[in-house]
Amino acid sequence: MANKPAPAENKMGVMPVGKLLANMAVPMMISMLVQALYNVVDSVFVARISENALTAVSLAFPLQNLMFSIIMGTAVGVNALISRFLGAREQEQADRTACVGIFLALCSFVVFALMGALITHPFFAFQTNVNEIVDYGTDYARLCLCCSFGVVLQIMFERLLQATGRTHLAMTTQLIGALTNLVLDPILIFGLLGAPRLEVAGAAIATVIGQCTAAVCALGMNLKKNPDLHLHFRYVRFHGPTVKNIYRIGLPSILMMCIGSVMTFLLNRILLAFTTTATAVFGAYFKLQSFIFMPVFGLNNGMVPIIAYNYGAKNPDRVHRTIKLAVCTAMCIMAVGTLLFECIPGALLTLFDASENMLAIGVPALRIIGIHFVIAGFCIPAGSVCQAIGNPLYSLIVSVCRQLVVLIPAAWLLAQTGNLDLVWFAFPIAEVMSFILSSVFLRRTLRRADAVMAIDAAEI
C-alpha cells in the first residue's frame, strides 16, 4: 500500500475540548450502550431456557473476562502509544505500533483457542456438580474462546480508529456486530426460521458471527478511511522495542481486568455456598451494570487519546480541561445508574425471567451495590488518566487493592454471618478505598506530567 501523507494537524490538538470530547466520546458511548444491550439480550434469551442456563453463562464470565482482559489491555497500550506518537509527529513509530498491535492480537487468539480446548470443562466442573450447568457452560465458553479470532481483530482494528480520533467509524463497526448478534440470538438459541435449536451454544455462535462481521468492517475502514495510519503488512510481526512499549502501558490494564476475573471467580465461590440463585443474581447484576459502566468506558475511550495526544504535544491546559470534563460527565452518568438500581430493581430483574426467590435475593442486592456507582464515576477515569500519561502502575495498585485486598476478604467475612444481604456491602466498602487511592495517585500523576510538559516546552 502506498504511503498517504498525514494531515498537518489532528483535531485532537486544535478542536475546543468540550466539542472534541463529545465528538470522540459520544459515538463510543452509543456503541458501548449497544454492546451492553446485546449482552443483556443474550442473557435474557438464555434465561428463558432455565435458571441453570443463566447460571452457566454467569459462571463463564471469568473466562470471557480473562480473554477480553488480554486483548483489550493490549489495545489500550496500542491506542495510547499511537496517539502519543501522532501528537509528537512520529509517523513511522505510529504505523509500526499499529502493525505490531495486529500481530499481538493474532497471537492472543492462539492462546485463547488453546484455553478453550483444554480447560473449559474442568473449569465448570470445579465450580459445581450440577451437570446441566457444567454442560451448558462448557459449550458456551469453548465456542467463545476457540472462535475468538473475530473479537481480537475487531477490538484491535477499532482501537486503531479510536487512536486517530475516528470514533464514529469504530461505533459503526460495533453497531454492525451488535445488530448481527441481536438478530441471530433468538434464531439460533430457540431454532427459529428453520434453524436448529442450539440453546446456550446458539448464543455463543451468534456472538462469534457478530464479532467476525465487525472485524471485517473495521479492517476495511482502517484501510480506506484512516489516512493517519499506514498499515504496512510486512510490519505485522514481532518487534521487541514496540512490544515492550505497548505492554508498559497496556500490561496494567491486562492485570487489572484479569484481577476482575479472579474476583468474579472467588465471589461466585462465596455465593455458591448460599445458593446457585445468588450466582444467577450476580450474573444478572453484571449484565445490568454494563448499561451504566459501558457508557463511562466509552467516555474513557474517547478521553484517553485526547490526553495522550496533548501530553505528547506538550499542551497541559487541554490535558487538564479534558480530565475535568470527563470526570464530571462520568459521575453524572453513574448517578443515573444509582437512581435506577435504587428505584426499580425488581423491574430490572424481571428482564431475566426472575423467580420469586431470585427477586428476594436480587432486589436488596442491586440496591446495596448501586450505592457505590457515583464514587466509581471518579475512579474509572482517574485510573485511565494515569495510564494515558505514563503511570499505569497506579491503576494496577488501585485495582488490586479494590478487588483482592478489600472486596473479596470483606465479602468472605460478611458471608460468615450467614446473611447473604450483607455480602453485597463488600462492593461499596471496596469503592471507598478505591476513591482514596485514586485521588492520591491522580494528583501525583498530574504534578509529574505538568513538570515534564513544562520542561519539554522550555527546551523547545
Does the CA dihedral 246-86-228-1 come out positive or negative?
A: negative
DSSP-H helix ranges across 226-275 = 240-272
Quick one: which of 101, 353, 406 has its CA closest to 247?
101
Give the total residue count for the chain. Answer: 460
Res. 102: pLDDT tops 60: yes
State pLDDT tens for residues 300-327.
Answer: 878 888 888 888 778 888 888 999 999 9
Nearest residue to 129 (alpha-carbon basis) of 52, 43, 61, 48: 52
Which residue has cell 443483556?
Answer: 40
- CA separation for the pair 124, 119 (Å, rounded): 9
Q: Is the pLDDT of residue 73 over 90?
A: no
Indicate the pLDDT class of residue 69, thresholds 50, 70 and 90.
Answer: confident
- For 130, 148, 264, 377, the CA distances from 272, given in Å and listed in that order, are 12, 29, 12, 30
pLDDT digits (tens, 9 = 90+) for 343-397: 999 999 998 888 899 999 999 999 999 999 999 999 999 988 887 776 777 888 8
Confidence of residue 191 (pLDDT cuts 50, 70, 90): very high
